[in-house]
């Protein structure tokens, strides 16, 4: 990859996950063993729990044992990292370029009325506190967090480079660019997410995609008709205006065209970044499928993998779990064996 070349989106992996879930209706001592980390914030005196990095099994276990447990806060994240293994320096460079050139210049969340304050800023912690700058005059630096909304808003979007998890520094190969949506009580009500069980049937792609929407250009809504029906001089002026807009897209990004930006206008039509939005949407859809799929297990491991035991629902970690993906893998292996048998038959080899 050339030193200044933008990373191709096809060379990146997009993965969506529930970063944390806060809920009530369960005491800490009642919680079964979980894969995610469970914490009981002291200020709630045990009445509210938070589970970080919950798996679909964790959520199913909680909702099955405590059907009335209620969601009070939810954060869904989309992580992006290089698909192939790169050296540490190149890995970091790709993440910084992705965050600056794709996200900082193109992220334009759409919030329902009343659920977001409209605040936008680039946040950077310092030795003595923090700095906060608007990003409608310059592209935020890779080390700055992009904030769309306040912490106490019903919906807040945040973007940053993640290199620390659970207060531990991660190896560089595990660093990723993270886009996340925090859904507070007002946002949960708007999306009808009341109980923990509601998370399994939630349409993550349709409901959350507007908060991760990206654009990569704009045009004036009246430009086409004016250029067609106006004078030649007007067409020249409109072309010049388009060139100016393009330069602001390259140097500042979408912030230049929003409130407070130098190119703010009411007649703008933004051009959606189809590939970027599709990849984020696919990641959210995979999360949706993972939460909706029931776990299937086999009671005893069969001696012949081509004749597995009948699958049934199971909720005991001691069992041998056959998930959707392992079942799919078994079917694919069976297909390959069948194809190999056909090839040998065509070669005149007796396979019996």
**Can you say how many angstroms the Cα of residue 336 is from the centroid of all Cα atoms in its chain?**
34
pLDDT in tens, 178-195: 999 999 999 999 999 999
Cβ atoms within 10 Å of 62's Cβ, excluding its own: 27
Residue 126 has pLDDT above 90, yes or no: no
Best-predicted range by mean pLDDT (127-131, 271-275, 298-302): 271-275
- pLDDT at site 229: 61
What average pLDDT does this structure show over 135-154? Answer: 91
- What separation in angstroms does the CA of 1 have from each of 93, 99, 279? 11, 17, 21
- pLDDT at site 238: 77
Q: Go through 130-168 and write b for each residue having 16 or more CB atoms within 10 A of its CB, e for each that does not.
A: eeeebbbeebbebebbbbbbeeebbbbbbbbbbeeeeee
Q: Go through 217-253 and write b for each residue having 16 or more CB atoms within 10 A of its CB, e for each that does not.
A: bbebeebeeebeeeeeeeeeebeeeeeebeebbeebb
More confident residue, 32 or 327: 32
pLDDT in tens, 163-182: 999 889 999 999 999 999 99
- pLDDT at site 180: 98
- pLDDT at site 302: 41
Residue 328 has pLDDT above 50, yes or no: yes
3-state secondary structure of 170: coil
- The answer to whether 96 touches 32, Cβ cutoff 8 Å, is no
Q: List the one residue out of 129, 133, 127 whose CA is nearest residue 145.
A: 133
pLDDT in tens, 77-90: 999 999 999 999 99
Neighbouring residues of 234: CB distance < 8 A, sequence distance ≥ 6: 226, 227
Cβ atoms within 10 Å of 28's Cβ, excluding its own: 12
- The answer to whether 235 touches 285, Cβ cutoff 8 Å, is no
What average pLDDT does this structure show over 218-247? Answer: 74
Q: How confident is the model at residue 342 (pLDDT cuts 50, 70, 90)?
A: low
Q: How far, in Å, CA of 203 to CA of 183, rounded? A: 15
More confident residue, 126 or 325: 126
Q: How confident is the model at residue 252 (pLDDT cuts 50, 70, 90)?
A: very high
Ramachandran angles phi, psi of 51, nearest 5°:
-115, 125
- pLDDT at site 136: 84
Token match 């700055």: residue? 144
Q: How confident is the model at residue 92 (pLDDT cuts 50, 70, 90)?
A: very high
Q: How far, in Å, CA of 249 to CA of 259, rounded? A: 15
What average pLDDT does this structure show over 324-332? Answer: 55
More confident residue, 136 or 203: 203
Rounded to the nearest 5 percent, the helix, strand and coil shares of the chain are 40, 25, 35
Ramachandran angles phi, psi of 272, nearest 5°:
-70, 140
pLDDT in tens, 263-280: 888 888 999 999 999 999
Q: How far, in Å, CA of 16 to CA of 56, rounded? A: 13
Residue 318 has pLDDT above 50, yes or no: no
- The answer to whether 194 touches 70, Cβ cutoff 8 Å, is yes
């Amino acid at each position: 990859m050339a030193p200044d070349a933008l990373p191709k989106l096809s060379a990146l992996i997009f993965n969506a996950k529930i970063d944390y879930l806060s809920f009530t209706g369960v005491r800490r001592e009642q919680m079964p063993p979980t894969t995610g980390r469970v914490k009981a914030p002291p200020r709630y005196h045990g009445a509210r729990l938070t589970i970080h990095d919950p798996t679909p099994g964790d959520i199913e276990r909680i909702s099955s044992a405590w059907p009335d447990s209620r969601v009070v806060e939810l954060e869904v994240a989309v992580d992006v990292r290089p698909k192939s293994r790169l050296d540490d320096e190149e890995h970091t460079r790709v993440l910084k370029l992705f965050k600056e050139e794709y996200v900082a210049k193109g992220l334009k969340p759409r919030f329902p009325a009343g659920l977001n304050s409209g605040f936008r800023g680039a946040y950077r912690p310092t030795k003595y506190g923090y700095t906060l700058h608007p990003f409608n005059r310059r592209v935020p630096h890779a080390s700055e967090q992009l904030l769309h909304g306040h912490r106490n808003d019903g919906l807040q979007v945040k973007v940053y480079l993640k290199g620390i998890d659970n207060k531990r520094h991660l190896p560089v190969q595990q660093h990723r660019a993270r886009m996340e949506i925090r859904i507070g009580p007002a946002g949960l009500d708007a999306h009808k997410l009341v109980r923990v069980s509601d998370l399994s049937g939630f349409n993550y792609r349709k409901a959350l995609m507007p908060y991760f929407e990206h654009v990569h250009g704009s045009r004036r809504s009246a430009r086409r008709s004016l250029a067609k029906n106006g004078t030649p001089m007007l067409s020249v002026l409109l072309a010049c205006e388009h060139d100016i807009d393009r330069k602001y897209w390259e140097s500042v990004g979408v912030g230049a065209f929003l409130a407070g930006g130098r190119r703010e206008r009411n007649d703008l039509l933004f051009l959606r970044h189809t590939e970027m939005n599709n990849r984020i949407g696919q990641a959210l859809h995979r999360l949706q499928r993972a939460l909706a799929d029931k776990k299937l297990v086999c009671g005893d491991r069969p001696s012949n993998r081509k004749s597995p035991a009948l699958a049934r629902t199971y909720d005991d970690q001691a069992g041998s779990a056959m998930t959707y993906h392992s079942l799919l893998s078994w079917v694919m292996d069976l297909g390959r064996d069948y194809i190999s048998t056909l090839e040998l038959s065509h070669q005149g080899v007796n396979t019996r």
